[in-house]
Amino acid sequence: MKEKDFFDLEKETLLIKYTQKQTTPEETRQVESWLKESDDCQKESDILRQALELKTKINEHNSFNSQEAFAEVNRELEKRTRRRSLVNYLSRVAAIISIPLLLSTLTFGYLFFERQAPAIESSVQFMEVLSAPGMVTRLELPDHSKVCLNAGSTLRYPTVFTGNTREVELTGEGYFEVQSDKEHPFFVTTKSGLKVMAHGTQFNVNTYDEREEVEAILVEGLVDIHSYDKFIAELKPGERLSYNKRTNKYEIRKVNIYENTAWKDGKIVFRNTSLDDVFRVLGQRFNVEIVLHNQKKDKEYNCWATFTDETIYQIFSYLEQATPIRWKVNAMKQNSDTTFAKQRIDVWLK
């Protein structure tokens, strides 16, 4: 891959460092030269600065009154008529930079209401947290349970748990450290109908839409697995339940917990992992489309690696040394509504 193929990516990375005042003197001179010579470069720098200002305002509300925070976020978003372009731009940035950099803790929260029985003139307030592509988001629930959301995941939960149970809705992947309360069991529900029930437990649930299976891995404690409110299995530490959304069948087996949960610490871990699974995980984490061409059915290449703060093209450079592949990063394509399509990386087996 020639250096010019990465020019735009490296340029944006330097702009991010410059906005955060992390550039070296030489890099500072280079960026300021770009800003003087290019209006487009100046516009991208302004968008980045706005994004960082928004991140700071949201972080100031971490211990906030949720209604007040909601109003503040809405005011900020209304000021930006190009909101969709900005969010998409941030997603594009996340595909370029390393995971912990920039908006690793940035979340956009939206509050909405559900009315209870008509006879009771009160409402239940909910929070929905989205973890943007390329990022890992941490949050604490009203009962002090802790949750890590993987890239592109969403968690919906009430601002106050009421009744006999504590229930949250997950889309994507989440790691849960549930606060013990035997009188109020904790439920994680998914669109597939699968529910994970726990009292005080650590576990991981993976329910990305593009996956045929929903997975639940128990790290510590005890969980019950239900399908549409019907009990189907009990998990023990170190076990993973894989539930097929199409056939409604499941299997339980022992797995490497570290490999499957290291994402919550910003790591990407592969242990004898097929290229198909490697590219699926990388695509989810960095919000890129990875297309593998001319795959050879008679040959299977597996990967053993651990990545922390590497960029997507650094990871591909390492993979190129370990496996017989060549690859190409395609230019970003802008849609008619000014948003950008996912960055595409084509991979060929040699």
Position 105 scores a pLDDT of 37
Evaluate the CA torsion angle 177, 179, 185, 187 in order and state its sign.
Answer: negative
> What residue spans define the domains of the chain?
1-81, 107-264, 266-349
Give pLDDT, residue 71.
52
CB 279 within 8 A of CB 347: yes
Please give the pLDDT value at position 201: 94
Q: How far is CA 33 from the centre of its chain?
A: 34
Give CA–CA dist 154/171, Å, rounded. Answer: 5
Q: CB–CB of 132/99 below 8 Å?
A: no
Q: Topology of 266-349 in CATH?
A: Phage tail protein beta-alpha-beta fold (3.55.50)
- Say what angle helices 312-322 and 275-286 make with each other, to 10 degrees: 170
Cα–Cα separations (whole angstroms), residue 138 to 103, 146, 175, 192, 208: 12, 7, 9, 24, 18
**Collapsing DSSP states into helix, strand and coil, what is residue 28?**
helix
- Cα(189)–Cα(120) distance, rounded to whole angstroms? 26
For tokens 């060929």, what's the residue? 348
- The two tokens of residue 32 are 């300021």
Rounding to the nearest 10 degrees, give the CA dihedral for residues 56, 100, 289, 16. Answer: 60
Output the pLDDT for position 286.
87
Alpha-carbon distance 333 to 106, whole Å?
25
Total Cβ atoms within 10 A of residue 166? 23
Q: Which two tokens stand for residue 341?
A: 């399509």
Q: How far apart are CA 320 and CA 329, in angstroms?
A: 14
| Torsion sign (Cα): 87, 88, 91, 97 | negative
179, 158, 180: which is closest to 168 by C-alpha? 158
Predicted confidence at residue 95, as pLDDT, reads 39
Q: Looking at this protein, which amino acid is placed at residue 269?
A: V
In this structure, which topology does domain 107-264 adopt according to CATH?
Answer: Jelly Rolls (2.60.120)
pTM metric for this prediction: 0.64
CB atoms within 10 A of CB 39: 8
Looking at 184-311, list the stretches that DSSP marks H as alpha helix, in order from N- to C-terminal side: 257-261, 275-286
Surface-to-core class of residue 331, CB atoms within 10 Å of its CB (0-12 exposed, 13-18 middle, 19+ buried): exposed
pLDDT of residue 68: 52
Listed residue (92, 62, 142) closest to 289, CA to CA: 92
With beta carbons less than 8 A apart as the criterion, state whether 293 and 100 touch: no
Reading the chain (350 residues) residue by residue, the pLDDT tens digits are 443 344 455 676 777 777 777 778 888 888 788 788 877 777 777 777 776 666 665 555 444 444 455 455 455 545 543 444 444 444 444 433 333 333 333 333 333 333 343 433 357 789 999 998 878 999 999 999 999 999 989 999 999 998 899 999 999 999 999 999 989 999 999 998 899 999 889 999 999 887 889 999 999 999 999 988 789 999 999 999 999 988 889 999 999 999 999 999 989 999 889 888 899 999 988 888 999 987 776 577 888 999 988 888 899 999 988 888 889 988 777 777 766 778 899 999 88
